[in-house]
Amino acid sequence: MQKILIIDDDTRLVENVTKYMHDFGFEVDTASNGIEGLEKAKSFDPDLIVLDLMMPGLDGVEVCREIRKTSTTPIIMLTARVEETDIVAGLEVGADDYITKPFSLRELVARIKARLRHEQFERTSQAHKEVMEFGVLTIDSARREVYKKDIHDPQAQQKIILTGTEFNLLWLLAANPGVVFSREKLLEDLRSRELEAFDRSIDAHISHLRKKIEDTPKTPRYIITVWGTGYKFQGT
């Protein structure tokens, strides 16, 4: 049984979502604030987290940022705000998807199922591929892990924690070095229906990815912007 953690201070919404998701066979745990949510993210070990953006105290952005320090669990952000800047803020700290309030319970469950299927597909379909190395960067598709060597100590390396979406994006670009991908093509090839028609979501994921793998994100070595077109991976 797949486990879903819901972090939201709206009691009625949480009750309705929990009951509806139980009907679809999910095991559900809940948290009413950010601190409790961080604790449950560790103890409950969910397969996916539904996280409200606006909560008193520790808000959804901070909770997401903390979770991403140690976990790649898919996160769907709930937001009552429709401004692009608010949505991008959630994506930049590691959310995989977003859904705006009010929403239908059917839509939420559909998003959850799609994200879980996507994660499973990527794990199984990439398992046969080889490890790729580019300079100090090692990308292991079978383990879905990324490592970066210490330039001062080649024997030492740091594991880079990426979200599922970030890893999929990095692997797609790195598997095609020098190929320029438009935002639309990246959205299509990632089969990410949740992000369609929202080009800035790719920009947000690229920005977050650069912060993790690049020595100087503002002058990247690996993920290069092709102005007016999109992005490419520079392997040399």
Q: Do 38 and 109 have their domain in common? A: yes
Please check the confidence at residue 50 and state whether its pLDDT lies above 90: yes
pLDDT tens digits along 54-82: 888 899 999 999 998 888 889 999 988 76
Q: What is the CATH number of the domain that holds 186?
A: 1.10.10.10
Q: What is the CATH number of the domain that holds 44?
A: 3.40.50.2300
How many domains, in total, are found in the chain?
2
Q: Do 112 and 142 have their domain in common? A: no
Residue 105 CB partners (closer than 8 Å, separation 6+): 16, 17, 20
φ, ψ of residue 5 in degrees (nearest 5): -105, 130
Q: Which amino acid is at 149?
A: K
Q: Do 106 and 142 have their domain in common? A: no
Q: Do 54 and 13 have their domain in common? A: yes
Q: Do 193 and 146 have their domain in common? A: yes
Q: Do 32 and 73 have their domain in common? A: yes
Q: Do 136 and 219 have their domain in common? A: yes
C-alpha to C-alpha distance for 76 and 73, rounded to whole angstroms: 10
Q: Do 201 and 110 have their domain in common? A: no
Could you tell me the residue range of the domain that residue 139 belongs to? 132-233
The pLDDT, as a whole number, for residue 143 is 80
**Contact assessment for residue 146 and residue 196, using Cβ atoms and an 8 Å cutoff:** no
Q: Do 139 and 72 have their domain in common? A: no
Residue 124 within a domain: no
User: How many alpha carbons fall within 13 Å on the CB side of residue 33?
Assistant: 5
- What residues pair up with 75 in beta bridges, in sequence order? 49
Of the listed ranges 15-19, 58-62, 184-188, the one predicted with least confidence: 184-188
Q: Do 105 and 167 have their domain in common? A: no
